[in-house]
Amino acid sequence: MARVLVVEDDTDVRDLVAQWLREDHHEVLAVESAVLALAAVERNGLPQAVVLDVAMPGMDGVDLLHRLREYDEHLPAIFLSVLWSAADVQRMRDARAVYVGKPSSADRLRTALRGLLGEGDAEGLV
């Protein structure tokens, strides 16, 4: 079981991802923006992993991950996104995170997270 921060601006997707991870026995804090994510980290400390949307209003997921990695440069991260442009993929690759495309499945997301946490193979590494 890990503490996982989910950052997703779409309420339905955020709730679904949080549910999937809770069903896998993770402690989940789900927020809708980078600003709220940073505030949550200030209040609760750094999570053991993050699941982030890339395209969000204000600070995007890639920039947020860079900010979070100021605390821990090895923070495990998964980008959950529909973005596929060469520039987007390169930004995610440069951020050293696993990419899971939307729409996704519970199994795919759980497998990626387990891999990042050292409990299996991380599939979809960008």
Cβ-contact 17, 6 below 8 angstroms: yes
Find the radius of gyration of the CA atoms of the chain.
13
Half-sphere exposure of residue 116, counting CA atoms within 13 Å on the CB side?
Answer: 28
pLDDT of the residue at 1: 86
Residue-range domains of the chain with CATH: 3-112 (3.40.50.2300)
* Phi, psi torsion values for 88, nearest 5 degrees: -65, -45
Q: What is the pLDDT of residues 54-101, one digit of tens each?
A: 999 999 999 999 999 999 999 999 999 886 788 888 888 888 898 888
pLDDT band at 124 (very low <50, low <70, confident <90, very high): very low
- Whole-model pTM: value is 0.90
Residue of 61, 53, 62, 48 lying closest to 11 (CA atoms): 53
